[in-house]
Structure 1
Amino acid sequence: MEYTLQTDETVSSGIERIVDGKVEAGLAEIDGDADVHETVHEVRKRCKEIRAAMRLVRPVLSTYSEENAHYRDAGRRVSDIRDAHAAIETFDDHVEPAAIEHGALDEGTLAEVRETLVERRDELAREQDVKARLAAVRRDLLEGRERVDTLPIATEGYDAVAGGLRKSYKRGRNRMAEAYEDPEFERFHEWRKRVKYHRYHCRLLRQVWVGPMKARRSALKDLSDVVGDANDLAEFTMLLADEELFDPAVRESLERVCLGRRAEYHREGRALGERVFTEKPDRLVDRVGTYWRAAHEYDPER
């Protein structure tokens, strides 16, 4: 099911359709035959998409807190396993290429680092019984699906989504300022979450004016990727410090590589973020509201 509110449906019916579709997609992922770590990743994405859809109507959804907690906790069942696999992806996509570029470590040492990360992930998956955890997530999704048709969304039209849009955008704007004021991992981590929610909301509202909303969502995707890459490197560095998987010399080289690459991503993210979050929240909400009214009241193709 398309992750977009349609102009010929009410907000409540659209949110119900979207949530139901994402639940079904999550169930299909769990019941499929894909690699277990890919399944974990995709199922967690479905839970995040569901939460973002509900967050868009948060001010008019009286059960938002309960529903959000339900899908948040479902995703958390497999978060440690996902994080262990993400460390390998971060190594492959960012750490190893940077280490080779700067001549930080030889190929043999890098191969040993990767092998250690894979062994760590596989041991964790065995300890936590990843298949049993996915079965528990499946039960969570089935339970949530029983409530989809009765989500108590109190109003319709732009009033139903304006408050959630404003909140997600304002938080993204504020978290950006905080992150660059005090560039600690937790602040950039919070900013990335808010960027992703705003990106999901632009996707949900795509039909109000396809071209501009698609362009905005594309810019948010680029920003989310850049900030996400920086955060992944920060988490990789914390893994090195917390678990002492490698000898001190190797850890020092890897940490130095990660620090340099993170600084590059933070500079890139600043330029993207300044463009995306330049408007004040009320102005952005008013502008999208104008798009909404044009699409819903005046579009001759409706």
Structure 2
Amino acid sequence: MNYTLQPDELVSDGIKRIIDTKVQRGIEHIDSDTDTHETVHEVRKRCKEIRAAVRLVRPVLPTYKRENVHYRDAARRISAIRDAHAAIETFDNHLEPAIEARDALDDATLSDIRTTLVTRRDTIAAEQNVERRLSEVRADLVDGRKRVSDLPIATEGFDSVAGGLRKSYKRARNRMQEAYDDPEFEHFHEWRKRIKYHRYHCRLLRRVWVGPIKSRRTELKELSDIIGYENDLAEFAIVMNEEELFTPEIREILNEISTAKRSEYHRQGRPLGERLFAEHPDQLVTRIGAYWEATHEYDPDP
């Protein structure tokens, strides 16, 4: 897998290979004839994957801040366009089915809601000039790629990834507690980001023990999706209310359903999160380190 550190390569070589590959994929997405909004989504994912790779070696990469900010800012160029499209997906996948199940609105009203969301997305894409934005992101990717071969990763072996792994896991663990102590949108949004970084790090480290790490990644993906749905519903409600989309009566119905669905996702995420983040960060790092040593020192055919 191209997003996995291999046992027979130095960590520095692997991280550089992975970043270079993801930059190239981002450029290919932009240069392809794929649907514009799918391109925006895929390019932002590539930037997140690159940032996760950089974060894994953060303590031993002196230029970490520069690289992280570079790809963060590249993705931000198209974030408003992506968010506008995500609002349509949230309506299609979560709100509309719930509305139909309750028979809360008629088909014509549902069609009008979706039309409003599509018009809003297309207006934002036109105002921001999505093609120009993607061209700017492409230039960012090309510029970042020039530095990949010279990334000054200072240490090899498990020591080079232990600190980044610990930080991503610890932050996800702490953000979970904050989210359930004070279930505001910002807290769950922050938790989701940290879950995804930890999931990416497990993907990067999957070869230390493929079976158990794959199982963990699967559960992290499920948790990330659950909290992601919660985030999407919260953002939909914020936009709908701030921009006064739809009539007050329709907003009231959508707010009620959104709140109920968010509570449902809160409940679904809690037991999964408690299991995935049960270990103290030091324990998790020690365990993954033991897997690393077994694979690199003793496995004749990793």
Q: Same fold (TM over 0.5)?
A: yes
Amino acid at match of 1:39: T
Task: Tell me the distance in 1 between the aligned counterparts of 2:223 and 2:244.
Answer: 31
Greater Cα offset, 100-109 or 8-17 = 100-109
Residue 32 of structure 2: aligned partner: 32
Amino acid at match of 2:262: R
Residue aligned with 1:33, SS: coil
Q: Note the 1:222-241 alignment, pairs <5 A.
A: 222-241=222-241
Which segments of structure 1 move beyond 6 Å, counting only runs of 4 or more? none
Residue 122 of structure 1: aligned partner: 122
- Number of aligned residues: 302
Instruction: Supply the RMSD in Å over aligned alpha carbons.
Output: 0.6
Q: Deviations over 1:5-40 (max 9, x none)?
A: 000000000000000000000000000000000000
Deviation (angstroms), 1:104: 1.7
Residue 74 of structure 1: aligned partner: 74
Deviation (angstroms), 1:240: 1.1
Deviation (angstroms), 1:188: 0.3
Deviation (angstroms), 1:106: 1.3
Q: Note the 1:1-302 alignment, pairs <5 A.
A: 2-301=2-301
Task: Tell me the distance in 1 between the aligned counterparts of 2:214 and 2:104.
Answer: 40
Deviation (angstroms), 1:244: 0.5
Task: Tell me the distance in 2 between the aligned counterparts of 1:45 and 1:213.
Answer: 21
Task: Tell me the distance in 2 between the aligned counterparts of 1:200 and 1:224.
Answer: 11
Task: Tell me the distance in 2 between the aligned counterparts of 1:212 and 1:243.
Answer: 46
Residue aligned with 1:124, SS: helix
Amino acid at match of 1:68: N
Task: Tell me the distance in 2 between the aligned counterparts of 1:102 and 1:58.
Answer: 49
Task: Tell me the distance in 2 between the aligned counterparts of 1:47 and 1:219.
Answer: 23
Amino acid at match of 1:284: L
Task: Tell me the distance in 2 between the aligned counterparts of 1:202 and 1:161.
Answer: 11
Deviation (angstroms), 1:130: 0.1
Deviation (angstroms), 1:102: 1.5
Task: Tell me the distance in 1 between the aligned counterparts of 2:105 and 2:64.
Answer: 49
Deviation (angstroms), 1:95: 0.6
Task: Tell me the distance in 2 between the aligned counterparts of 1:51 and 1:228.
Answer: 19
Task: Tell me the distance in 2 between the aligned counterparts of 1:103 and 1:171.
Answer: 41
Task: Tell me the distance in 2 between the aligned counterparts of 1:94 and 1:57.
Answer: 37
Deviation (angstroms), 1:283: 0.3
Task: Tell me the distance in 2 between the aligned counterparts of 1:258 and 1:20.
Answer: 40
- Gapped regions of structure 1 (runs ≥ 5): none
Amino acid at match of 1:139: A
Amino acid at match of 2:181: E
Task: Tell me the distance in 2 between the aligned counterparts of 1:151 and 1:66.
Answer: 11
Amino acid at match of 1:187: H
Task: Tell me the distance in 2 between the aligned counterparts of 1:187 and 1:290.
Answer: 33
Amino acid at match of 1:121: R
Deviation (angstroms), 1:288: 0.2
Task: Tell me the distance in 1 between the aligned counterparts of 2:32 and 2:163.
Answer: 37
Greater Cα offset, 36-45 or 97-106 = 97-106
Residue aligned with 2:149, SS: helix
- Gapped regions of structure 2 (runs ≥ 5): none
Task: Tell me the distance in 2 between the aligned counterparts of 1:2 and 1:93.
Answer: 31
Amino acid at match of 1:230: E
